[in-house]
Amino acid sequence: NAGVTQTPKFRVLKTGQSMTLLCAQDMNHEYMYWYRQDPGMGLRLIHYSVGEGTTAKGEVPDGYNVSRLKKQNFLLGLESAAPSQTSVYFCASRDYSGGAHTDTQYFGPGTRLTVL
Partner 1 sequence: AQTVTQSQPEMSVQEAETVTLSCTYDTSESDYYLFWYKQPPSRQMILVIRQEAYKQQNATENRFSVNFQKAAKSFSLKISDSQLGDAAMYFCAYRGKAAGNKLTFGGGTRVLVKP
C-beta of 73 vs 107, nearer to partner 1: 107
E-only strand ranges, the chain: 4-7, 10-13, 19-25, 31-37, 43-49, 56-57, 65-67, 73-78, 87-94, 106-107, 111-115
Quick check: 33 binds partner 1 (CB under 8 A)?
Answer: yes
Q: Is 70 in the site for partner 1 (CB under 8 A)?
A: no
DSSP secondary structure, 60-80, as one string = S-TT-EEE-SSTTEEEEEESS
48 binds partner 1 (CB under 8 A): yes
- One symbol per residue from 84 to 103: x for binding partner 1 (CB under 8 A), - otherwise; what is it? ----x-x-x-x--------x
Least distance to partner 1, CB of residue 80, Å: 26
The minimum distance between CB 16 and partner 1, in angstroms, equals: 27
